[in-house]
Structures are given as structure tokens and as C-alpha cells.
Amino acid sequence: MFEAVGLAMHDAAEAFLQEFGGLTLNVSGPGVSCARTPFELDPELAWGEDDRFTEWGEAIGRHLYPLGELDHGRFFLGIDEVGVIYLVETWVADFGPMPHAMESLVLGVAPRRIDSDRAR
């Protein structure tokens, strides 16, 4: 669906979505370093946000593919070609590589914000 707008699904996104696509996790409460936040893994929830994924992917030198949303649409989730999961908004942060990234999402570990000045 995103290919029509220039976001081709790479192998890491395909493998991730085959395993976790459709998962909704309604977590809340205190986490390790931030609040535990609900998320839904359905790329269609990011439809219309392709420019965000394209622009941030170019800025950090990665191919970001949409995975779904975090905090009921407040943020979006994406994955790069090497399996790193990102929070995508008007800024970008990473949860690290899989499977550590899923653990961070579930346990409430804050993602590492990527400074736009350091992005390529």
C-alpha cells in the first residue's frame, strides 16, 4: 500500500509484520524510564504520514517503513532495514534493534531521541 507513495517494504519490515502485525497492546502505568504506553502494530494507521517516514529516513540515512502507532496515534512507529524500531513524530527517536525494541516498548523504556543536528 505504501509503495504507491514511494515507501517500499524492506525485508526487516516484512519479517517484523509477519510476526507482530495486528498486535495491539494496551499497557499503562509506570515503566522503567517512562510511562508504559499502548501501541498498535498496523501500518495502515500511518497512512497519509508517508512524508514523515521519507523525510526522517533521509535525515538519518535509513529506509523507514511504517509499523503502526504509539499512544493512540500521538506518535507513529517505524522500522529500518536493519531492524531498529523508531518513534516518528516531528522528531525521531529509536528504541533500538529487535528484539530489544519490543521489550523496551512493553516495559516503558524511553527511546533515544536522535538530535536533528546529528542526523545525516
**Is residue 8 over pLDDT 50?**
yes
In a domain, 119, yes or no: no
In-domain check, residue 120? no
The two most distant CA atoms of the chain are separated, in Å, by 40
> pLDDT tens digits, residue range 69-91?
999 999 999 999 999 999 999 99
Confidence of residue 6 (pLDDT cuts 50, 70, 90): confident
Which structural domain range is residue 107 located in?
Answer: 3-95+102-114
Structural domains of the chain, count? 1
Q: What confidence tier does 120 reach under pLDDT thresholds 50, 70, 90?
A: very low
In a domain, 76, yes or no: yes
Q: What is the pLDDT of residues 34-54, one digit of tens each?
A: 999 999 999 999 999 999 999
In a domain, 29, yes or no: yes
Whole-structure pTM value: 0.92
**How far from chain centre, in Å, is Cα 69?**
8
Residue 78 lies in a domain: yes
